[in-house]
């Protein structure tokens, strides 16, 4: 029975970067929600008390799709940068599977 | 215009093509050449069954009516995919670990493999999804009717077309969806067909979009201007719907049975999810990219009364692009068929595993041990379920009249399946979630959904009367179906989402907090929530009651004889058992249950094994044992640590002992060589002088006498040496008998001084203080005297002062009596002080006649007597301190 190894408190630069990118990956959907819920503040046609003219539809379309594209690109980039970490985790899980089957 | 018959011909050709693709994919998979079949792109494309005909046609219509709001249906799933790390990763991992066959199976497995829960989820899913299937049938027939020209003119029979489409879909699903039983072996044919259809619908929609933007509007810039100039040209959203629909679509994306099927059940590699995390949002983006342009151009070009849902078809047709319209039709057809196939498959799996099989098992008294192949029964049940579900969809389509009521069913269906969300997420993230909580939450949510969303959707006058909408049932205004608790003015969908999910979650949480889970529930809960810790293991069956033969017979009937035999043989080999049948160990039963669960669902598999094994599988004691396991492991490791410390201590002791032994062995060797040397010197001299006496003629009397005297002296020396050795050996072995008597220290000293002086050669002045010596001793006085004599003799021998002097001083410190023999000779060199008490240790070899045993004997004697002797450097000369044994000294006068 090996006691679980205490993870080191400070990491080398590379692992540190990977950890922070992992945080970014976790935060990405939250950014997505914030950005996509932002249009709620835009003046719309049906607002009776609106101070400003409603946003034109073309701007709204461009905004939503640009956010979308940025999220996809970030997700793509993060996935590629974090690939070694994922592979490591998959390997760990694979080992666990193997030991479970035993 | 293309005739309907041509279109049907194209569709049939397309369907044949899909059948062929599915067929060859299955063949390739059977031969083990999965290759690109298992690629992440296929996985991503298969997820696109989220985009049904409702989204293919409906999104444009939606955009034409409400502007950008349609996009919320895609935003939710995009967020879920981008946030895959939070939920999907765990869901897929759990689904694979538990071999979940459906969302009902997952929820049932989480809450103690409860079949009741599975049945509730199944019923809810069937009620929620069947209208959705009807919607797909409607969309296909509606799109066909577009090509047939004005209604009534031609002989196109919409219900008839819907019937044949339903038959075709049922055939496809039965053929490729129930080919193999093990749901985890995946339906490669179906998945490939869906992937192909996903490409077709994307290409179709984008082709129409590109045609609209560049073909009609004349580029992006003019398109944007036309968008702003159109009736939907201003930002015009209902804010509550924007939030609620995004959340709802995210929830539905997780909970829809068909999504669970492709996302979790058909998942071949968890890493595919990482690719899909960006690829699927990209697919959704592309699917929705041209929706607004198509809607705007459609509103512009089409006559006022045109159905905006069909702009995707009617715009190209109006522009005379029949080929493009046909492609677009195929896109819609693909969306509809792929959704129906997978949704039916998923529902049929749920129905057969959670309703038909348990019923069938309980109807047979023999239970799982009956003869005959259960596989046939399962497959038959599944095929029948497929037919029943597609039949239900068709009937719903027929009786709902195919009208506008159906168009709204997309969101209503979403709200229905979203009711699984609290139980599902609660189940995978919260160990405190209980079966009762899940059941209550599901039923409450379902009831609210039926009351507030499903039934009102038929419109006033059909199920609810108008007064019911306006005044509530029995005139209770706070129960009005679209304004619960008096909160009126909400959008009906938002109203239904908010109330059903809120009450569902609330009931789920409160009942979970108040109820206590059963043992199996707690085990499963731990397994689900801690799936990434891979430490917990379900402990299940009491293996003693099952025989391998029974298990084998049962497994054969579910897995098929070949697979069952392979499984058992592999286990037997692993256990090292001869023959085919392994021992029915707990681990093996668990593995077997999981294998069976992949075919018939966890609840049924659990029930089947429990029939063979007998009775409850988990007792509270088992649970306690599991709970205690970590404590036990901790204790065990502590024990091991203690043992290890003990072992290292012992090893250290052994090492020390070994060093001592080695040192002793070296000492012994040195001792032997010393002794030989000591004995040889007198012997050599004796031999020489006896040879002289024997061989030399005419020796004078004086000479003879001289030589004999030398020989005599040497023998005396030898004798003394041997005496000393004997003495030392006796002392060291502890064989000495002490002759304990009581006497005065002064008497002992007196005797020693007299004896030593009698044999003395050199004059040493001895100084004593007789007053101090008046101490009564009880010890072996002779031995003590021997020590004193030795010390005095040493001083006589080695003191090299011009006026040798020995001071005998008696110290009495708190009853601890010491006798100090201090001389005024040259102090012993520092490095020699450590060894003077060792055997044969002499300060200077050339000097004196002793063998170097005197002080060693003294020390042995003092040790025996319980005292000590040590060397103290004195101011002038040397001092030997004899510490007298304490208890005896206490008896001082």
Closest to B85 (Cβ–Cβ): which among A26, A57, A64? A26
Kindly state the percentage of chain B with pLDDT values over 70: 83
Q: What is the mean pLDDT of chain B?
A: 80
Instruction: Give the tens place of pLDDT for each residue, B310-355.
Output: 888 888 888 888 888 889 888 888 888 888 888 888 888 888 888 8
Has residue A73 been placed in a domain?
yes
* pLDDT at position A99 over 50: no
pLDDT band (50, 70, 90) for residue B783? confident
Closest to B271 (Cβ–Cβ): which among A64, A68, A86? A86
| Whether A45 and B235 lie within 8 Å, measured CB to CB | yes
CA–CA gap between residue B544 and residue B585 (Å, rounded): 8
| Whether B243 and A28 lie within 8 Å, measured CB to CB | no
The domain in which residue A83 lies consists of: 58-102
| Selected residue of A31, A58, A74 to mutate for chain B interface (largest B Cβ count, 10 A) | A58
* Residues B187/B262, Cβ–Cβ less than 8 Å: no
pLDDT, residue B891, reads 43
| Whether A60 and B271 lie within 8 Å, measured CB to CB | no
CA B671 from centre of chain: 66
pLDDT, residue B615, reads 47
User: Minimal Cα–Cα distance from A14 to chain B, Å?
Assistant: 21
Neighboring chain B residues of A28 at a CB cutoff of 8 Å? 82-83
* pLDDT at position B671 over 90: no
CA–CA gap between residue A44 and residue A48 (Å, rounded): 9
pLDDT, residue B791, reads 85
pLDDT, residue B502, reads 92
Antiparallel, parallel or unpaired: β B868-873 and B805-813: unpaired
Neighboring chain A residues of B230 at a CB cutoff of 8 Å? 57
* pLDDT at position A15 over 90: no
Q: Which residue, B111, B115, B114, B112, is CA-closest to B423?
A: B111
| Whether A39 and B237 lie within 8 Å, measured CB to CB | yes
Instruction: Give the tens place of pLDDT for each residue, B537-580.
Output: 444 555 555 567 777 777 776 677 777 777 787 877 777 776 66
Q: Which residue, B191, B57, B197, B68, is CA-closest to B136?
A: B57
| Selected residue of A60, A77, A96 to mutate for chain B interface (largest B Cβ count, 10 A) | A60
Closest to B237 (Cβ–Cβ): which among A44, A59, A96? A44
* pLDDT at position B183 over 50: no
| Whether B271 and A69 lie within 8 Å, measured CB to CB | no
pLDDT, residue B246, reads 92
pLDDT band (50, 70, 90) for residue B617? very low
* pLDDT at position A42 over 70: yes
User: Minimal Cα–Cα distance from B230 to chain A, Å?
Assistant: 9
* Beta-ladder partners of B880: B821, B871
pLDDT band (50, 70, 90) for residue B633? low
Alpha helices in B736-853 (DSSP H): 745-758, 781-798, 830-833
* pLDDT at position B301 over 90: no
Q: What are phi and psi of B218, to 5 degrees?
A: 90, 35
CA distances from B81 to B48, B769, B862, B884 (A): 12, 105, 90, 92
CA B692 from centre of chain: 96
| Selected residue of B213, B225, B235 to mutate for chain A interface (largest A Cβ count, 10 A) | B235
pLDDT, residue B535, reads 44
CA–CA gap between residue B722 and residue B730 (Å, rounded): 12
Taking residue B769's Cβ as centre, other Cβ atoms within 10 Å add up to: 10
User: Minimal Cα–Cα distance from A16 to chain B, Å?
Assistant: 19
pLDDT, residue B634, reads 66
Has residue A72 been placed in a domain?
yes
Instruction: Give the tens place of pLDDT for each residue, B120-141.
Output: 999 999 988 888 888 888 888 8
| Whether A60 and B278 lie within 8 Å, measured CB to CB | no
| Whether B285 and A72 lie within 8 Å, measured CB to CB | yes
Q: State the total domains in chain A.
A: 1
| Whether A3 and B282 lie within 8 Å, measured CB to CB | no
B819 three-class SS: strand
Has residue A82 been placed in a domain?
yes
pLDDT band (50, 70, 90) for residue B155? very low
pLDDT band (50, 70, 90) for residue B616? very low
Mean predicted confidence (pLDDT) in B806-822:
83
If one compares B111 and B403, the residue with the highest pLDDT of the two is: B111
Has residue A2 been placed in a domain?
no
* Beta-ladder partners of B805: B765
| CA neighbours closer than 13 Å in the CB half-sphere of residue B163 | 6
The DSSP H or E segment spanning B767 is strand B765-768
B795 three-class SS: helix
| Selected residue of B278, B289, B291 to mutate for chain A interface (largest A Cβ count, 10 A) | B278
pLDDT, residue B366, reads 54
* pLDDT at position B261 over 80: yes
* pLDDT at position B260 over 80: yes
Closest to B86 (Cβ–Cβ): which among A29, A39, A71? A29
Mean predicted confidence (pLDDT) in A34-51:
75
Instruction: Give the tens place of pLDDT for each residue, B707-729.
Output: 888 888 888 888 888 888 888 77
Closest to B86 (Cβ–Cβ): which among A26, A37, A96? A26
| Whether A96 and B534 lie within 8 Å, measured CB to CB | yes
* pLDDT at position A95 over 60: no
User: Minimal Cα–Cα distance from B547 to chain A, Å?
Assistant: 21
Mean predicted confidence (pLDDT) in B496-500:
89
| Whether A42 and B270 lie within 8 Å, measured CB to CB | no
Q: How large is the greatest C-alpha to C-alpha distance in chain A, in angstroms?
A: 70
Instruction: Give the tens place of pLDDT for each residue, B724-765.
Output: 888 877 777 777 777 888 888 888 888 888 888 776 666 778
Antiparallel, parallel or unpaired: β B741-744 and B765-768: unpaired
| Whether B239 and A71 lie within 8 Å, measured CB to CB | no
Q: What are phi and psi of B783, to 5 degrees?
A: -65, -40
Has residue A100 been placed in a domain?
yes
| Whether B83 and A97 lie within 8 Å, measured CB to CB | no
* Residues A58/B224, Cβ–Cβ less than 8 Å: yes
Q: Which residue, B141, B171, B175, B133, is CA-closest to B158?
A: B141
| Whether A44 and B236 lie within 8 Å, measured CB to CB | yes
First to last CA, chain A: 16
Chain A residues near any Cβ of chain B (below 8 Å): 1, 3, 25-26, 28-30, 32-33, 36-37, 39-40, 42-46, 54-61, 64-65, 68-69, 71-73, 75-76, 79, 83, 86, 90, 93, 96-97, 100-102
Taking residue B674's Cβ as centre, other Cβ atoms within 10 Å add up to: 16
Sign of CA dihedral B773, B774, B776, B781: positive
Say how many CB pairs under 8 Å bridge A and B.
Answer: 124
Mean predicted confidence (pLDDT) in B407-427:
86
* pLDDT at position A44 over 80: no
| Whether A65 and B289 lie within 8 Å, measured CB to CB | yes
pLDDT band (50, 70, 90) for residue B403? low
Neighboring chain A residues of B537 at a CB cutoff of 8 Å? 100
* pLDDT at position A102 over 90: no
Exposure pattern of B721-754 as b/e (b: 16+ CB <10 Å)?
beebbebbeebeeeebeeeeeebebbebbbbbbe
pLDDT, residue B716, reads 86
Has residue A90 been placed in a domain?
yes
B275 three-class SS: helix
| Whether B78 and A26 lie within 8 Å, measured CB to CB | no
Has residue A17 been placed in a domain?
no
| Whether A90 and B242 lie within 8 Å, measured CB to CB | no
Q: Which residues contact B481 (CB under 8 A, 6 or more apart)?
A: B451, B452, B455, B456, B464, B468, B469, B472
Mean predicted confidence (pLDDT) in B280-290:
91
Has residue A97 been placed in a domain?
yes
| Whether A36 and B83 lie within 8 Å, measured CB to CB | no
* pLDDT at position B792 over 90: no
* Residues B288/A75, Cβ–Cβ less than 8 Å: no
CA–CA gap between residue B91 and residue B273 (Å, rounded): 11
B579-583 LR contacts (CB < 8 Å, sep 24+): B580/B552, B581/B548, B581/B549, B581/B552, B582/B548, B583/B543, B583/B548
- What is the set of domains in chain B, with CATH numbers? 4-402 (1.20.1730.10), 419-536 (no CATH), 539-618 (no CATH), 624-731 (1.10.287.130), 736-890 (3.30.565.10)
* pLDDT at position B425 over 70: yes
Closest to B83 (Cβ–Cβ): which among A29, A54, A96? A29
pLDDT, residue B348, reads 86
Kindly state the percentage of chain B with pLDDT values over 90: 10
pLDDT, residue B676, reads 83
Mean predicted confidence (pLDDT) in B68-86:
89
pLDDT, residue B842, reads 65
Q: What is the mean pLDDT of chain A?
A: 76
Closest to B236 (Cβ–Cβ): which among A1, A26, A46? A46
Closest to A56 (Cβ–Cβ): which among B86, B233, B238? B233
DSSP B601: -
């Amino acid at each position: 029975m090996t006691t679980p190894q205490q993870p080191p408190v400070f990491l080398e630069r590379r692992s540190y970067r990977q950890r922070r990118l992992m945080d970014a990956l976790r935060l990405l959907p939250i950014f997505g929600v914030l950005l996509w819920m932002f249009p709620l503040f835009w003046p719309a046609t049906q607002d009776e008390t609106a101070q400003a003219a409603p946003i034109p539809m073309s701007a709204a379309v461009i905004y939503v799709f640009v956010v979308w594209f940025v999220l996809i690109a970030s997700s793509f980039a993060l996935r590629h940068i974090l690939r070694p970490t994922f592979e490591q985790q998959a390997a760990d899980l694979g080992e666990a599977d193997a030991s479970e089957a035993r | 215009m293309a005739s309907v018959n041509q279109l049907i011909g194209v569709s049939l050709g397309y369907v044949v093509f899909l059948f062929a693709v599915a067929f060859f994919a299955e063949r390739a998979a059977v031969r083990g050449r999965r290759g690109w079949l298992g690629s992440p792109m296929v996985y991503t494309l298969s997820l696109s069954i989220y985009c049904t005909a409702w989204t293919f046609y409906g999104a444009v219509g939606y955009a034409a009516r409400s502007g950008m709001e349609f996009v919320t249906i895609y935003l939710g799933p995009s967020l879920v995919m981008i946030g895959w790390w939070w939920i999907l990763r765990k869901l897929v991992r759990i689904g694979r670990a538990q071999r979940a066959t459906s969302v009902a199976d997952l929820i049932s497995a989480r809450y103690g493999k409860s079949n009741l829960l599975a049945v509730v989820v199944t019923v809810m899913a069937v009620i929620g999804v069947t209208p959705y299937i009807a919607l797909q049938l409607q969309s296909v027939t509606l799109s066909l009717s577009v090509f047939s020209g004005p209604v009534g003119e031609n002989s196109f029979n919409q219900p008839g077309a819907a019937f044949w489409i339903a038959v075709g879909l049922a055939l496809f699903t039965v053929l490729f969806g129930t080919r193999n039983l093990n749901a985890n072996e995946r339906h490669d044919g179906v998945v490939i067909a869906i992937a192909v259809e996903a490409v077709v619908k994307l290409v179709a929609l984008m082709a129409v979009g590109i045609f609209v933007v560049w073909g009609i509007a004349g580029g992006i810039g003019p398109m944007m201007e036309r968008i702003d100039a159109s009736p939907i040209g201003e930002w015009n959203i209902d804010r509550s719907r924007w939030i609620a629909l995004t959340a709802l679509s995210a929830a539905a994306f997780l909970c829809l049975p068909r999504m669970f099927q492709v996302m979790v059940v058909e998942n071949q590699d968890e890493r595919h999810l990482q690719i899909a995390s960006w690829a699927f949002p990209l697919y959704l983006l592309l699917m929705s990219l041209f929706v607004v342009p198509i809607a705007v151009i459609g509103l512009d070009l089409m006559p006022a009364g045109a159905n905006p849902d069909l702009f995707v078809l009617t715009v190209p047709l109006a522009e005379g692009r029949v080929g493009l319209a046909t492609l677009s039709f195929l896109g819609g057809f693909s969306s509809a068929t792929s959704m129906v196939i997978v949704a039916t498959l998923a529902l049929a799996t749920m129905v057969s595993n959670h309703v038909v099989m348990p019923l069938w098992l309980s109807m047979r008294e023999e239970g799982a041990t009956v003869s005959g192949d259960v596989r046939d029964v399962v497959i038959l049940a599944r095929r029948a379920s497929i037919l029943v579900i597609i039949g239900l969809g068709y009937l719903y389509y027929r009786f709902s009249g195919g009208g506008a009521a159906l168009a709204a069913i997309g969101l209503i269906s979403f709200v229905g399946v979203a009711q699984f969300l609290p139980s599902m997420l609660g189940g995978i993230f919260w160990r405190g979630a209980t079966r009762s909580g899940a059941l209550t939450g599901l039923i409450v949510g379902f009831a609210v959904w039926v009351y507030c969303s499903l039934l009102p959707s038929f419109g006033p006058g059909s199920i609810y009367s108008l007064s019911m909408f306006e005044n509530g049932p029995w005139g209770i205004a706070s129960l009005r179906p679209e304004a619960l608790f008096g909160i009126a003015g909400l959008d009906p969908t938002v109203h239904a989402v908010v109330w059903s999910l809120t009450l569902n979650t609330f009931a789920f949480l409160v009942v979970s907090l108040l109820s206590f889970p059963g043992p199996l529930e707690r085990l499963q809960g731990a397994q689900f929530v801690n799936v990434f810790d891979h430490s917990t293991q379900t402990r299940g069956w009491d293996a003693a009651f099952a025989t391998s033969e029974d298990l084998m017979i049962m497994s054969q009937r579910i897995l098929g004889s070949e697979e069952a035999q392979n499984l058992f043989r592999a286990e037997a080999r692993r256990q090292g058992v001869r023959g085919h049948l392994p021992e029915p160990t707990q681990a093996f039963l668990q593995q077997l249950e999981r294998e069976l669960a992949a075919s018939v669902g966890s609840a049924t598999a659990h029930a089947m094994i429990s029939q063979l094994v007998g009775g409850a599988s988990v007792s509270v004691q088992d649970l306690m044992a599991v709970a205690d396991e970590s404590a036990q492991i901790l204790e065990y490791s502590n024990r091991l640590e203690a043992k290890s410390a003990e072992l290292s201590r012992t090893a250290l002791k052994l090492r020390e002992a070994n060093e001592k032994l080695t040192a002793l062995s070296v000492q012994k060797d040195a001792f032997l060589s010393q002794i030989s040397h000591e004995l040889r010197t007198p012997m050599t001299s004796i031999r020489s002088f006896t040879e002289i006496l024997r061989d030399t003629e005419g020796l004078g009397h004086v000479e003879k006498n001289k030589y004999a005297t030398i020989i005599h002296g040497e023998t005396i020396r030898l004798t003394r040496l041997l005496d000393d050795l004997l003495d030392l050996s006796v002392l060291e072995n502890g064989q000495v008998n002490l002759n304990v008597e009581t006497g005065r220290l002064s008497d002992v000293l007196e005797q020693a001084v007299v004896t030593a002086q009698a044999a003395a050669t050199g004059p040493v002045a001895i100084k004593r203080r007789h007053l101090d010596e008046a101490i009564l001793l009880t010890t072996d006085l002779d031995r003590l005297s021997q020590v004193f004599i030795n010390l005095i003799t040493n001083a006589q021998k080695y003191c090299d002062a011009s006026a040798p002097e020995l001071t005998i001083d008696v110290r009495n410190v708190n009853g601890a009596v010491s006798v100090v023999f201090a001389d005024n000779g040259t102090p012993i060199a520092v490095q020699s002080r450590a060894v003077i008490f060792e055997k044969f240790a002499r300060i200077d070899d050339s000097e004196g006649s002793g063998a170097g045993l005197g002080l060693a004997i003294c020390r042995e004697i003092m040790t025996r007597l319980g005292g000590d002797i040590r060397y103290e450097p004195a101011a002038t000369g040397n001092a030997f301190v004899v510490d007298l044994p304490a208890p005896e000294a206490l008896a001082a006068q």
